Amino acid sequence: MSDYRIERISEERLKDLIQLYKASFGKTYPINYLKNKFNTQYTGVSFVGYLAYDPAGQPAAYYGVFPCHIRYNGRQILSAQSGDTMTHPAHQGKGLFTKLAKLTYELAKELNI
């Protein structure tokens, strides 16, 4: 797994998810759809997740969460929901899902999610 480069998801990296969605789920989404879907700025935090790139620079896996607010005991709390996690079929079984999940949980904790 050390051959993979890990990068935090960003608006600039959303384009890399397009081919990963296609390879993982057989679906193609326009970039504007992804920009809207991943726009969680209303919560105060955005782009909570990580992409793994193979040695050739191609996206291999993604794990992330979507920040959201929940109400608990009358208080609004920043929380998150896991979503759109995927691993390219050629890279499955290499521990990428677990590695990216752990990094995402650490990032969420740093962001007080």
Among positive and negative, which fits the CA dihedral 71, 73, 76, 81?
A: negative
Encoding tokens for residue 15? 């384009």
Pick the CATH number of 5-110 from 3.40.630.30, 3.60.15.10, 3.30.70.3270, 3.40.50.410: 3.40.630.30
pLDDT of 99 reads 98
Q: What is the largest CA-CA distance in the chain?
A: 50
Burial of 48 (0-12, 13-18, 19+ CB in 10 A): buried
Give the pLDDT band of residue 1 (cuts 50, 70, 90): low
Say how far apart CA 30 and CA 4 lie, in whole Å.
26
Q: What percentage of the chain carries pLDDT values higher than 90? A: 98
Asked if 85 contacts 63 with a C-beta cutoff of 8 angstroms, the reply is yes
Chain mean pLDDT for the chain: 96
Give the pLDDT band of residue 2 (cuts 50, 70, 90): confident
Question: Cα-Cα-Cα-Cα dihedral of 107, 12, 99, 89, to 10°?
Answer: 150
Tens of pLDDT, residues 39-61: 999 999 999 999 999 999 999 99
